[in-house]
Amino acid sequence: MLELYHWEPNVFFLKPLIALEEKGAEWVSRWFDPTRFEQFAPGFPANQESQLHLEREGPLLVHDGEVVSGSYFMLEYIAESLPGPELLPGGAFEHYRARAFGQLGALILAPIVCALGCARYLVPALAERNRDELRARVAAIEPIERRNAWLAVIDHAWDERALEDLRRRLQFPVSHIEAALGSSRWLAGDEYSIADIDAFALLRPLPDLAPQVVNESATPRIVEFLARMHERPAVRAALARSRSGRPHEAFVPGPECSRWG
């Protein structure tokens, strides 16, 4: 049995949904709301890797009882283990390029996108809930880095200066991807692959969160890439799984932002 534990189709949660739709796979949807801390409920699948991986709150893929965590690794697993259209890029160098873009996304782009999204949408959403109850729930979260990420949201840790610094930090990963799209139609080469799914899920929120960074004038290739991705039936099907109708507002704390740069 193939099960996906997922939430609204945004950022990390969007990636495996697109890949499964591209494959035409049969799978069971296990919806959970990480902002209600349902990922800590008894019986929620877990292993050592899922407790420690950088994306913290999900999604999780469970295949015949084995737990796969980390959204880029999940894309590789889906691409390699399931029948259907090829999602891995051509040869060894293309595989390297895909992983290099995956690392760029995981270590640099995703932390910034998640922080901007949490500041815009999760902070006001949690502000409507009982602060003491929230802090009591968060106090039990381990490891401490994961706990502190939630406390930063509850305490609204981002002032305008911090947000401006995050938008400044976007320039490097965004310009790198913009340049790469100038040399090939897809990120890892001539063929569509998991590199494009991974990047799309992280870039998609930016015209909303940082329109001064991602726009038709500054990043025409990224804007065209996003439009091209939105035309894919698998992407449309994945986005249609939203229950709120506002998946672009669905954020949870992600990896910690680099303290350098």
241-257 tens-digit pLDDT: 999 999 999 999 988 77
pLDDT for residue 261 is more than 50: no
pLDDT for residue 63: 97
pLDDT for residue 149 is more than 50: yes
Describe the strand order of the beta sheet including 2-6 as a list of residue ranges: 28-31, 2-6, 60-63, 66-69
Task: Indicate the class that CATH gives domain 2-81.
Answer: alpha beta
pLDDT for residue 259 is more than 80: no
pLDDT for residue 137 is more than 80: yes
pLDDT for residue 79 is more than 70: yes
Mean pLDDT, residues 33-48 taken together: 92
Question: What is residue 53's three-state secondary structure?
Answer: coil
Domains 2-81 and 92-249 in one fold: no
Could you tell me if 253 and 149 are in contact, meaning their C-beta atoms sit under 8 angstroms apart? yes
Mean pLDDT, residues 126-149 taken together: 91
Those residues whose C-beta lies under 8 Å from the C-beta of residue 183, and which sit 6 or more positions away, are: none
* Burial of residue 223 (number of CB atoms within 10 Å: 0-12, 13-18, 19+): middle
Mean pLDDT, residues 54-72 taken together: 92
Task: Give the domain ranges of the chain.
Answer: 2-81, 92-249
Q: In this structure, which CATH number among 1.20.1050.10, 1.20.1250.20, 1.10.760.10, 2.30.110.10 belongs to the domain 92-249?
A: 1.20.1050.10
Region of poorest pLDDT, from 80-84, 100-104, 154-158: 154-158
- pLDDT tens, position by position, 172-192: 999 999 999 999 999 999 999
154: number of CA atoms within 13 Å, CB side? Answer: 18
